[in-house]
Amino acid sequence: MITVRQLTTQYEKDYEAFLAHVEHTLFYHSNRFRLFLKEMLDGEDHYLLAFEDGSICGALPAFRIHSSMGSCLNSLPFFGSNGGIIEPEGREEVRSALLSAFYELAEMDHTLAATIIASPFENHHDTYARFFGEGPVDHRIGQITPLPYDEKDPADALFAELDPFTRRMIRKALKKEIKITRQNDAEAHDFLTEVHQQNMTRIGGKTKPAVFFRKFPDFFRQGRDYRIWIAWHGHQMVAALLLFYYNQTVEYYIPAIVHNYRSYQPQSLIIFRAMADAAENGYRYWNWGGTWFSQDGVYRFKKRWNTQNHTYHYYHALFDHSLLERSREEIVRAFPYAWVIPFDRLKEFY
């Protein structure tokens, strides 16, 4: 018999042991990321665990976010973090039990809407369709590079698989005498924070909030859960890359580059060195994160790193139709770090 309980301190070790034995679990699924979300967001965690014979056989991480407008349920919030069902054997009864519990949560506490952002590794979509009553409402291209973790010389094996254009960019950085270091100190942290904000402002993108940069070193272990890689030109930092490491996957999280040094290709060299290092340390996958179908340039850049496409889906349920009367600006203001509703469904679009 399958029973579903919420993750509490009592089950934290069992939950992490379960995740460790599922090949494709991600940083977003981890208990540390759960605690980090609790620190950053106004809401509470509802990580659902399926038990059979006293052991965890599946999980569905979720987080409820509150606002003056009401609440919404995400799996998971914060810049499109992947959640979804974690169940390695494709057992329909486990998946259905978890989604039933998710729906029960969504029907409580004046929930406006609920969304599940599936993992790029997940390929069991029939259960979602039965519960959500329609197909996915949004998609992203998940691009993942398989790392040559079992090769005698991972760096050489990796380089050989890259697109010729990318290999030229790496060689260009070397000719420009770009040097790469791995340093998780205050200098690297401050540089990453400042340049990320500059980069996002320049392109009109959404920056990670200041609390993210203040808090992530308190929740994640430097050198184990995260690493900051720095590119130098002489005595000047010119690029940085924040990576998170979990189970068998490396998350490409925040790149940052000084604009005047883009032509030196420091980020290409950082990525190559970090990929080779990850492969040497036994990591199997480099997850580039989601790419919109409209982002042709971003897609091509990632594709040249020997990526495989893993399209993933957003499953959505609307519980309070008054949400359709709201404007996009109202929703974004109320829920800056949650996925609430496809904006083209709002009445202001008709």
Q: What DSSP designation does 205 have? A: P
Q: What is the mean pLDDT of residues 158-169?
A: 98
Taking the CA atoms of residue 287, residue 6, residue 337 and residue 248 in that order, the dihedral angle to the nearest 10 degrees is: -10
Q: What is the mean pLDDT of residues 52-79?
A: 96
User: What whole-number distance in Å separates Cα of residue 28 and Cα of residue 20?
Assistant: 13
- Buried b / exposed e over 159-177, threshold 16 CB at 10 Å, is beebeeebbebbebbeebe
CB 250, CB 278: distance < 8 Å: yes
- Buried b / exposed e over 117-128, threshold 16 CB at 10 Å, is bbbbbbeeeebb
Q: What is the pLDDT of residue 123?
A: 81
Q: What is the mean pLDDT of residues 11-30?
A: 97
CB 59, CB 91: distance < 8 Å: no
Q: What is the mean pLDDT of residues 242-258?
A: 98
Q: Position of tokens 């893993």?
A: 310
Q: What is the pLDDT of residue 349?
A: 66
CB 85, CB 127: distance < 8 Å: yes
Helices (H), 176-280: 186-203, 210-219, 266-280
In tens, the pLDDT along 174-207 reads 999 999 999 989 999 999 999 999 999 999 989 9
- Percent of the chain past pLDDT 90, that is, above it, reads 91
Mean pLDDT of the chain: 95
- Domains in the chain, start-ordered, CATH in brackets? 3-139+313-349 (3.40.630.30), 148-283 (3.40.630.30)
Specify the pairing of strand 48-52 against strand 55-60: antiparallel
Q: How far out from the chain centre does Cα 261 lie?
A: 27
In tens, the pLDDT along 209-221 reads 999 999 999 999 9
User: Which residues have a Cβ under 8 Å from the Cβ of 123 and sit 6 or more positions away?
Assistant: none
Q: What is the pLDDT of residue 132?
A: 85
Q: What is the pLDDT of residue 350?
A: 52
User: What whole-number distance in Å separates Cα of residue 166 and Cα of residue 164?
Assistant: 5
User: What whole-number distance in Å separates Cα of residue 74 and Cα of residue 323?
Assistant: 16
Tell me whether residue 311 is exposed, middle or buried, using C-beta atoms within 10 angstroms of its C-beta: 0 to 12, 13 to 18, 19 or more: middle
In tens, the pLDDT along 95-138 reads 999 999 999 999 887 799 999 999 999 987 778 888 887 768 89
State which amino acid sits at residue 266: P
CB 182, CB 228: distance < 8 Å: yes
Paired residues of 128 in beta bridges: none
User: Which residues have a Cβ under 8 Å from the Cβ of 167 and sit 6 or more positions away?
Assistant: 159
